[in-house]
Structure formats: C-alpha cells, structure tokens
Structure 1
Amino acid sequence: MRALLFLAMFHALAASAEVRVTAELDHQYCTLEDQVVLTISVEGVRNPSPPVLPENASFEITYQGTSSQMQIVNGSVSVATTFTYVLSPLREGNFVLGPVELSSGDRRYRSNSVGLHVGRPRASESVQSAGNPLFVNATVDTTSPYVGQQVILTFSFYRRVSVSDASLEKPTLEGFVAEPLVKEHEYSRMHEGQEYKVYEFSEALFPMRPGLQTIPPYALKLQVRVKGRQRTPFSNLFDDPIFGGRTQAKVLRSQPIELNVKPLPEEGRPEGFSGLVGVFNADTTISKQQARVGESLTLTCTLKGYGNLRDFNGFSISSLEHFKPYDDKPSLEVKPGPDGLYMVKILKKALVPLAPGSFTLPAVVLNQFNPRTGRYEHLATPEHRLEVLAAAESEHLNAVEATNLVVGKERVKVLGKDILDIHGEVEHFAPSPDLLTSAWTYLFLFLPMLGFAGFELLRRRDKDRLLNQQQHRSRYAFKHFQRTLKKHLQHQSEDPAFARQLVRTVQVYFGDKLGLPGGSLTPEDLADRLRASAQDRGNTERFLELLEALVRMEFSGAARLPLERSELARVFETFLAEVDEVLA
C-alpha cells in the first residue's frame, strides 16, 4: 500500500514539475583537429523522446548515448535525462548551435543556444614531444589522369606520441571506383630530422567521368595521451602509460585533392571501342586440337595487366559459323603489383563443332587505351588450328531389322527304282474311290495355294517394313521418348548429367520423327523446323528457351536447372505430344 502511495505521489510530482531543456558544450573554443561534447539535459519529463538537432553542414555529429537520474529532496521529485553528442568540426569559423527542440505529448520545448569558435590547428604545448607530434597526409601519383586510368592514393599518419582508439573514416568517392591496393601497415621513418611511426595504406582509384574531380579529406579519429600543466613530484610517475593518464580526442583530416580528369582522345579511337584503359596483354589457349562434331572444346582468353578489368566481361571471334559458342562465367584475380593494382581476368568460351573439317580459329583482337603513351593500341592473340572429325556415335534405330535369309533348293536325286507291286488277286483291280468328291482331295489341292498366299503376304509385309523403316521409327518415336524420359527421372544423376541426357533424348526423338540422325540436329536447325511446323508459337519459344538453357548448362558448366526436374519433364512431354500430332 505504501509502495502504491509512493508511486502515485511520484507521478503527480513529476507531472507537476517544470520542463526544462538545456544545451551545453564542454568547450567554447576548438580546432579542426578537436572534438566537442554537446549535452542536452531534459528535466521534468520521464522517458523523453530524443531531441531534434538542427541541421548543420559545418559539423559531423555522432550520437553517444543517454543517461537518466532521479532525485528526491524534501519530498520534491526531479527527473533528468541527458543526451550526449560528439561534434567534429569540418571548417573554421564562429558558429551558433541551437536551439534544440523536444516534443512531449502535444507540447514542444526549446533549449538555449550555445556558441562555438573553430580555429586552425595549433602546436600543442602539452604533448610529449616538441614540434608537430602527429599529422596526416594524402597523396596521389598523378593529378591529371585519363578517364578510367588507375590513380594510386596513399594515406599516411605520422606520430611521435602515444595514441589509442584510432579509427579511419574514408570519404564517399563520387565519380570514382575504389579498389584496396596495399593493406594497412606501420613502419618507422625520419621526417625533418625526427623519427616518426608511420601508419600507411594505399587505394587504387579509377575516375569515371572527365573534368575537375575532388577527392574529399580522409578523417582519422583518435585519443591522444597528454600531460597535465601542473607538475608535481609524482607527475612523471603517473604520466607513464601503465597508469593510463589523461587523453584528448582529436580528428586529423587530410587536405582535399583536386584531379583534372582528361577524356579519352577521339583521334585514333577504334570503332566499337569497349573502354579498356590500362596496360594489358592478352593470350588464348584451346583445350584440344582435335574434336568430333557435337563435342565441346574450350577456348580460354587470359587478359592481365595494370588497370580495371571488373567490367570487362567478354570477347568476340569472327568466322564461327561452323561452331556454336557458349560463354562461361569469367574469373578475376586482383593483387598488388610494383606499378599499382594488377588484375588477371580469365574468360572462356565453350565451342561445339557443327560440321567436320579443318578449321582455323581466328585471333582475338582487343583494343586498349594506354595512358602511359596516350594512344590506342591493338592486342591480338595467336590463331589456332582445329581438326573436326565426324561424330563417332552410331545412330540408334528403334526398329528391329530383319535379316534376309536365302534358302537354296536342293536338287532331287534319283537314288533307285523299286519293283512294282505284283497284283495277283481280282480285288486288287476293283475301281478306286472318286477322288474328285473327297474332302481330303480338296484340302490337299488348296493347302499349298493357301500357304503360298500367306507366305507371300508375310514376305511383302516384311519387305515393306524393311523398305520403310523410317515410318516405323516415326510412329513409335514419342513412346520411346516417354520411356527414356521416365528412366532418366528415376535415375538420381547430377543436374549437368540430367541436362545432357534430356537434350540427347530430345535429339533422338526428332531424329526418329524426321528421319535424321539425332546427333546432327543443331539447336538452330531444330528451331527452324519447329517454328515452321508447330501450331502454338508461345509454347514453341518456351520449349526452345528451355532447351537452349539445358545445352548451355551442358557446355558452359552452369550449376542449376532452369526448372525442377519433374516440371521440366512435364513441359517437354506436353510440348512434344503436340508436335507429335502435327508431324504425324
């Protein structure tokens, strides 16, 4: 009961307390290297919402946290909440911060305003070493690059004092593509007769548009250990790092860097220039010099050098009408080199021969702009000779071929003559039955004729079957496709193997249906025949799209089927059932 009474009294007193919002800075003067703590105190409101700070482009504002406290003095309850912010000045001048607004219910409250003067960094007399004990520097290897040329930026932090909690904030680089070049490392270096510890890292920047471009400052936030102004006999002891000591927050910023980015020259620009800027060399290799029709071979193009190859994704070869090309997924290796960022890009094409013969794969020709010479250059790879043999796979026929059996006639040989029977009785000369009226007589007379007629019918049927085997293959092509498809679905093979089996099953079906060897049908031939004969154009294009995806998966090494196996089989079976009726 007393607890409830206390809570009711507390809420009533808190509700009746006056609401005050106060803004306060821990410093009224700072430099560009300093940080200032801004506290917003709210009294008379329990659990207030965060205050709204006015926008100010002259400072970088970081929220640090919230703290609350409650006091009861002579029965008077006071509640206070403090919001803490850290201000990092971005330019010099005199500034007025505030007022800060706070909403509580349907009422709004405003704080006081505070003033702050930001001056130039000055040499501190309280740091442990004389002179300039710490500074940062950002440099580039060129201030007038071409569009797409590699620019190496190096950020260095020099120090001769103890620091802690250092964190680097990289600016947003609009109009540039940035790639890390050298990881952060630290070493010792002499500078103006003083030994410094140097923290350094490098980036490769690629400007993407011409004109005047600015690299904003890099900001390093840290805590610097300082000595107190009042010295005692124990100062040297307690200033030792083992006892912590007093620290001061600092923000060190590099100077902005102006780049005059030059556009690529129009003079000498090759037609269809892909935008390859850098110093590269190219080479091609082929997986084998001899292949058969329908087999896959790989043409690999390796491009390496100093420049940006991330957006270069392909190459073309002329005179490939006897091959079906499939692009494979490219790979990229990025590593630092003595002259900057070194990239190696490997691009592959799977080539499927369509006809036998001797062929020459022409050179791959690439164009690059060399920023060192300021000229466009051609990169040409060697040619490759290739021997394509006929397909070794024998055509599978779905009809049973009869074998022609030739039965030779054997001559009748007279082995001897028997002595005629001697008839010595009268009854032996009795008249014989009338053969013309006997049923057996008719049976023996017509049986050879019926046998000959049946044999002739069978012979003619077999002859027609042998002469028209394609008709038999075409008639049962769809049933054979269904049986083979069901067998592949039951066999739990990998996706690339299933894609290869399904493509082969479709080829065999159309080979049987059209009277062609299945292995000789290319996707282009099949597409032309289907578009000319199929009734539903939408289903035809859908089928060809899925078939092309399976062929690409077979030769380029793709990892996933375009649809689930059961759905893929259903689509193929439904479409081929329609085709089977059209081609019947």
Structure 2
Amino acid sequence: MYPRLWGCLVILICGITFSVAAQDCTLSAFVEPSNAVVGQSILYILKLECAEKPDGPPDLPLIDSDLGFSDFRSAGTSSQLQIVNGRVSQTFEYRYSFSVSRKGRFKIPPARIVVGERELKSNEVEIVIGDTPSAPAANLPEELRGRIAPPQVQGNPRLQNALFGKIFVLAVPETTSPVAGQQFLLSYYLGIEQEALQRAGFDVSRFRGGGVEVPDFQGFVKDEIFPLPQRLSFREQMIEGRRYVFAPLYQVAITPTRTGKLTIEPFQLSLSFPYRGARPRPLTGGPFFDDFFDFDFGLLDSIPITVSSIPVTIDVQALPRPADGTNFSGAVGAFSLKAELDKSRAKANEDVVRLRVVLEGEGNASAASPPVLPQIEGVSLLEEPKSSSERRIENDKLISRKSFDYLLRPVKEGEVSIPSLELTVYNVKSGQYETLRTEPLNLLVAPGIARPALVAPLASATSTTTSSGGLSSVTPRTDLRYIHDRPLRVDKGRWIVLRRPWIYGSVGLPALLVAMAFVFGKRRERILADLQGYRRSRARSRAEDALASAKRRAEKAPVDAFAAIGDALRTYFADKLGRESAGALTAEEILTLLEKRGVSPETRDQLRSAFEQCDSVRYAPASATAADAKALAHQVAQLLEEVD
C-alpha cells in the first residue's frame, strides 16, 4: 500500500512541476474608467499571471509631465494562488491611482516586471479625457461652473452623473498668478447639496469618510495651516437659491520655488453614504460627523463615492529685476514696517535698550533679511539682531509678522536720535519694489557710571619716609621683586652690532621690498588688462572656499549655510559668464546659458534642484537642517567640477 501511495505522490509532484514549467507568464494593463474627465481619479491596474513570484514591483511607464498626468500613487496590491487539476496559477495585481489635467486621447506606454530571468512587458493602454459635463446639463450654479469635478461611483455611471454638483471637493486658491516667492493660501472644502441627496434616498446624517489623498505640491514649499480634521464643521451657504453646506477639509500656505505654469494634483476623498432605512450602526465616538476619517466601509447597504477637486493650475510670474543699488530683502507681499524702543530713558554705560523692528502684512514676512542699522553716535550695538516669526489668519487672509530685536547700550549722556531704518520689499498689489521706512526714535540718556580705565596705574616701587628733621629719604620696597638681582655686565666689544645676525637682514630688507613691489605691480597690471579672464580663472577656487565656509556654518546656522551655497553658485556663474553682478542672475537664465553651451540635461536638472533647495529654505527657514546643508554643499562642489 505504501509504495503505491508514494508513487502517486511522486507522479502528482512531477505533474505539478511540469505544469508550472509549462505555464506562460503574462502581464496585462488596463484602466478604470477608460473614459474620464479632467481631474477625475483613475485606476491603472497591472495584472501578472504566473506561477513564479516576481523579483520586485513593476517598473511603471514614464509619461511626459507636459501631458498633464499626475504621479502614479500606489492604491494597493493583492495576490491569489490556485491549484486546479494539478495546474498551479498565481495572480498578482498592482493598483495605482492618477489623474489628468488636460483633455484628449492619450496612450500609456507598457509597464515592465522581472520574473526570474525574464522581463515581461504589458500592453499599451488608451484613455480618453474629456471636459467636465456642461453646466446646463449638470444644472450647476454659475459660481461652481468649471470649478468642481464629478464624483466617482464605481460601476454606476448613471448615478455618478446624477450626483455631479450634489457632492464635491472645492479648491479655493487665494491667487492663480503669484510672483516667485509670494506665499498664498490654498483651501479645500467639502460641499454637499443636502436636500438633493436626501431626495435621492441617501441618509446624509450617517455618511462616513475614508481614505484621503493630499497633493504633493511639487514646485512649492508647503506650510500646513489647517490639517486634516477628525470632526467636520459645516456652514450653510446659499448659492443662486440652492442650499449647500461646506466644511473645511485642508488648508496650506504654499510658496512657488520656480516660475512658469505649475499644476497641483487633485485632493481626493473617499466617502460612503448609507441608504435611508438601512440597518442603523452607531458611529465611533457618538456625535454627529464625529471621527470622520475613521471609516472601514463596513456599513450595510451603503455606496462608496470618491470625490476629488479639479487640478489647480498656478501661473507663477518672475519677479522683475530690481533697480541698481536696491537691496531687496526677499519679502514678497503687502507689508508695513515700524520700530519701537522698550524704554525712552536710560543711563549711560548701565542700561541695555531693545530696539524692535516689526515687518507685518499679507505675504511671507519670514523671508525678509534684517534691516541695516546705521552707526549711531553715543550708542553701541551689543550683538547681531535676533528674529522671530509668527502668523495668523485674518478675514481669510494669511497675515505674517517678523520681528528683529537689536540690543543697544548708550555710552554718552544726552539725547540720542535713532534714525529711520529701511527695508525693501516687493509689493504684489502695486507690482513694484517698495522701500519701507520706520519713524525716527529719540532716547534720553542720563549720566551713569564712568567707563572704567582699561589699565590701572602701577604701584610705586619705592616708599618715602620723612625724618624728624623734615628731610625725606627714599628706601627700596621690600614687597616687590625687582627684574635685575645681579650687577649689569657691559660688553665693551667694538663691533658688537656687526656680530648680530639681524643686521644683515635689515640691510637687505629694503631691496627685497622694492623687488616684491615691482613683481606685484606687474601682476596687478596683467589682472587689470584682463579682469574677466582673472575672474574666470579664480571662479572655481572662490566657489570651493565659499562652499567649505558654508559647511562650517551649517551646524550653528543652517539657514545661512543654504544662503551661502546659493550665493556661491550665482557668484561662480557670474564670474564664468562675465557678469558684473551675481544678484542679477536668475536660475532660469543660468540654466538657459548652460544649455546653449552643451551642458548635459542631467547636470542642468541637478543644478535646478540645488537652486530650488536654496530658495525653498529662504521661504521656509524652519525646514533647514545642518545635514541637508552639508549634503547640498558637497553635491554642488561635484556639479561645479563637472561644469568647470
């Protein structure tokens, strides 16, 4: 019996092995849906059917970003194993979500995956992207036309069209045409036409939220203002006679790091609406709409609905070049500048007076550099100014404030005048550079302690005593140690000076100095004759010195280190390209000139990334770290070695 059993097992194993070896592996790709609208969330699905396990995740197709495709985001993976009639089959499924911001007919190139020693390639996938349904057909209010996308109801396009305009995510940017460095608000709201959903049979009192996909904000520095809530707070609003409720979902302050058209991907939210009359299930936490983002799609008789905002296109304008001699502080917005003293009276050489200069208004005040404090007679500056920043939302506007504190010590009595301080900003409302000035301040200084002498007078080396006859006698002090405790020896040699070695050096020194002055004078003439050539020859060494200095400063002041790296880059290219002012060179201008000179696209992309890193820290100082500054300095040094 046992030999027969073992024989059957051997035959079965051999049959399974043969079937595995004989099975072909296939990789297929498809999208859901294949016909979508601008901004709609789409699934790209790869299905691998093979008995063997793949070596790793698939290599996704590369699509030109100019076509309006967002990045592919993982939406989950799954696998399934089956043995039917001795035949082994495995199915691996990879799901990715994306959206398209332009209408048209597009082809998604094949994806690839490696299984053992084979590389499998999927089929091409065609997708059609159209405009959102027309406003009359969707019966949208004028205020919402072109600003919202239809919801996605998988497998039910009729319901999907019926819900258009009844539930949506609305993206509200503060502006769509900022200038480089301008910080502005972008807010997302969930909008619901409550009565329309109730008429359609949905129970709006028990809907729940699930997965959330927040945009990556590529090309922007993001500063989160209102994070994802756990409890929604709805506010009623009438739009053309129709009652809507809106709840804030997310709010960020973003600052563009480059110019041109930038597209922000849709904000996506998964919801589930139960039918009216479905078996009730209490919500976690109890209160209405509480624990909103804790849904597990386990409600009975409910419909999953995915709502997305439309992509937001931001057209970033370049800052105009400031006039010669203008010291631009880096702040972009609409600001005011004021100064104040913490006291109006002080004592000379005793009191410390704090001068506080405050820049406040709409925009990113934290990007501003401190104003220059001129020399003030009778006042000394004790240390470099310290700064602090804060922000608040006021009437749906982002108001930021940056304070600069100067510690002063009056050293002379009398009335001291603190002159007006200046700060140049770019005013987005007027579209011009504007120099802000503080009002002059007065400080009354009263007499204080006298400044102590730097050297105390020496004690007398002798003591004087007076005898009874009125005559004074001088006696040596016994409590002092004299320098000479032996008789001095006088060298009576006739040629004592000539026997000293330094005499020969002093005789030859004038001739040596004349020769050195002649050599340096000739060298200076050659440099002045070809000053641009000298700058080009010294550009690399100057940049390396500046980068080394930035590395040393990174630990104590990472923000200053990033600024030094950016200055080193611009100064290097100004020297190489023969430009007088490094500050007038923009990153785009440098990259365009490098492209004309045949620099590789990879090197130009890395230089672009380096410029963006330096600028991003300038607009968001809190993101700077010493490790990032050191790594960037090292990378820039290698890039300059390739370019040089």
Relative to the length of structure 2, the TM-score reads 0.52
Could you say which residue in structure 2 is the equivalent of 1:333? 390
Q: Spell out the pairing of 1:33-72 with structure 2 (5 A cutoff).
A: 33-36=40-43, 38-46=45-53, 48-57=55-64, 58=69, 60-72=71-83
Q: Deviations over 1:243-269 (max 9, x none)?
A: 4335445352325345474745868x9
Aligned to 1:319: 375
How many angstroms apart in 2 are the aligned matches of 1:116 and 1:359? 78
CA separation in 2, counterparts of 1:4 and 1:461?
A: 120
Shift of 1:285: 0.9
Q: Is the 8 A contact 2:329 2:369 kept in 1?
A: no
Aligned amino acid, residue 112 of structure 2: E
**Amino acid paired to 2:359:** L
Give the number of aligned pairs.
Answer: 413
Structure 2 residue identity aligned to 1:409? S
Distance 1:308 1:357 in 2: 40
Match of 1:214, SS state, is: strand
Relative distance call for 1:363 and 1:165 in structure 2 (3 A) is same
1:288-437 aligned within 5 A = 289-293=345-349, 296-320=352-376, 323-338=380-395, 340-352=397-409, 356-358=412-414, 360-369=416-425, 370-372=427-429, 376-385=434-443, 386-387=445-446, 389-391=448-450, 406=465, 409=468
| Alpha-carbon distance, 1:282 to partner | 0.8
Report SS of the residue matched to 1:315.
coil
TM-fit CA distance, 1:374: 5.7
Q: Deviations over 1:1-35 (max 9, x none)?
A: 97997997598447524231242547453423243
Give a deviation string over 1:452-508, Cα, whole Å, max 9, x none.
Answer: xxx98xx53229969x9xx99xxxxxxxxxxxxxxxxxxxxxxxxxxxxxxxxxxxx
Shift of 1:144: 5.8
Question: Any conservation in 1 of the 2:266–2:312 contact (CA below 8 Å)?
Answer: no
Q: CA deviation at 1:82?
A: 0.7
Bigger shift: residues 326-335 or 25-34: 25-34
Residue 280, structure 1, aligned to residue 336, structure 2: yes
What is aligned with 1:158? 191
Of the candidates 121, 138, 148, which is equivalent to residue 171 of structure 2?
Answer: 138
Cα distance in 2 for partners of 1:283, 1:194 equals 50
- CA distance in structure 1 between the partners assigned to 2:360 and 2:89 by the alignment: 67
The aligned amino acid for 2:371 is F
Structure 1 position 101, deviation (Å): 2.7
8 Å Cα contact 1:315/1:364 also seen in 2: no
Aligned to 2:143: none
2:199 is the alignment partner of 1:199? no
Structure 2 CA distance, aligned partners of 1:103 and 1:133? 45
Q: Which amino acid aligns with 2:416?
A: T
Superposition RMSD on alpha carbons, in Å? 4.8
Q: Which secondary structure state, in structure 2, belongs to the residue aligned with residue 310 of structure 1? A: helix
Structure 2 vs 1, CA of residues 282 and 28 (structure 1 numbering), >3 Å: closer, same or farther?
closer
| Structure 2 CA distance for aligned equivalents of residues 66 and 373 of structure 1 | 53
Q: What is the alpha-carbon distance in structure 2 between the residues aligned to residue 128 and residue 256 of structure 1?
A: 22
Is the 8 Å Cα contact of residues 74 and 97 (structure 2) preserved in structure 1?
no
Separation of aligned partners in 2, 1:92 and 1:142: 24
Distance 2:51 2:428 in 1: 67
Equivalent AA in structure 1 for residue 439 of structure 2: T
1:20 counterpart residue number: 25
Contact 1:51 1:102 in 2 (8 A): yes
Contact 2:182 2:363 in 1 (8 A): yes
| In structure 2, C-alpha distance between the alignment counterparts of 1:192 and 1:394, rounded to whole Å | 82
Please give the secondary structure, in 2, of the residue aligned with 1:126: helix
User: Does the 8 Å contact 1:137/1:255 carry over to 2?
Assistant: no
1:170 to 215, 222, 237: 215
Amino acid across the alignment from 1:379? R
Counterparts in 2 of 1:151 and 1:137: CA distance versus 1, 3 Å: same
Which residue matches 1:461? 476
Cα displacement (A) at 1:330: 1.1
Following the alignment from structure 1 to structure 2, what is the Cα–Cα distance between the partners of residues 47 and 276? 52
User: Whole-Å Cα distance in 2 between the matches of residues 146 and 388 of structure 1?
Assistant: 52
* Partner SS, residue 41 of structure 1: strand
Number of the residue aligned with 2:119: 108
Match for residue 34 of structure 2?
29
- Is 1:256 the counterpart of 2:312? The answer is yes
**Structure 1 residue 219 corresponds to structure 2 residue 219:** no
CA distance, structure 1, for counterparts of residue 106 and residue 331 of structure 2: 49
| Larger deviation, residues 277-286 vs 92-101 | 92-101
Q: Which runs of 5+ in 1 are unaligned?
A: 228-234, 412-454, 473-548, 550-584
- What SS does the aligned partner of 2:477 have? helix
Distance 1:357 1:463 in 2: 45
> Within 2, Cα distance between the matches of 1:49 and 1:141?
43
Q: Post-superposition shift, 1:84?
A: 1.9
SS in 1 for 2:386: coil
Contact 2:169 2:307 in 1 (8 A): no
Q: Deviations over 1:513-533 (max 9, x none)?
A: xxxxxxxxxxxxxxxxxxxxx
Q: Per-residue deviation at 1:346? A: 1.9
Query: How far off is 1:218 after superposition?
Result: 4.5
Query: CA separation of 1:320/1:190 partners in 2, compared to 1, >3 Å: closer, same or farther?
Result: same
Equivalent position amino acid for 2:170 in 1: N
Cα distance in 1 for residues equivalent to 2:107 and 2:175: 40
Q: 1:64 to 1:140 in 2, by over 3 A?
A: closer
- Is the 8 Å Cα contact of residues 313 and 347 (structure 1) preserved in structure 2? no
* Contact 2:31 2:125 (8 Å CA) reproduced: no
Q: Is the 8 A contact 2:29 2:122 kept in 1?
A: no
My pick for the range that moved more, 8-17 or 276-285, is 8-17
Paired position in structure 2 for 1:514? none
Cα deviation, residue 196, structure 1: 2.4
Distance 1:189 1:258, change over 3 A: same
Q: Secondary structure at the match of 2:159?
A: coil
What is the distance in 1 between the residues matched to 2:467 and 2:455?
33
Query: Shift of residue 340 of structure 1?
Result: 1.8
Amino acid at match of 1:349: Y
Aligned pair in 2 of structure 1 residues 361, 168: CA closer, same or farther (>3 Å)?
farther
> How much does 1:296 deviate?
4.9
Deviation of 1:38 (Å): 1.1
Q: Is the 8 A contact 1:98 1:114 kept in 2?
A: yes
- Deviates most, 276-285 or 27-36: 27-36
Q: 1:515: which partner in 2?
A: none
Q: Aligned pair in 2 of structure 1 residues 164, 202: CA closer, same or farther (>3 Å)?
A: closer
**Preserved contact between residue 317 and residue 362 of structure 1 (Cα < 8 Å):** no
Per the alignment, do residues 344 and 149 of structure 1 end up closer, same or farther by CA in structure 2, a change over 3 Å counting?
Answer: same
Distance change (3 Å), C-alpha of 1:320 and 1:405: same
1:83 pairs with 76, 93, 96, which one? Answer: 93
Change (3 A) 1:70 1:14: farther
Are the structure 2 counterparts of residues 403 and 460 from structure 1 closer, same or farther at C-alpha, using a change threshold of 3 Å?
Answer: closer
Instruction: Give the distance between the partners of 1:7 and 1:163, measured in 2 at CA.
Output: 51
Contact 1:127–1:133 (Cα < 8 Å) also in 2? no
Residue identity over aligned pairs, in percent, reads 18
Unaligned runs of 5+ in 2: 139-156, 198-206, 283-298, 485-555, 557-644
Structure 2 CA distance for partners of 1:4 and 1:52, relative to 1, 3 Å:
farther
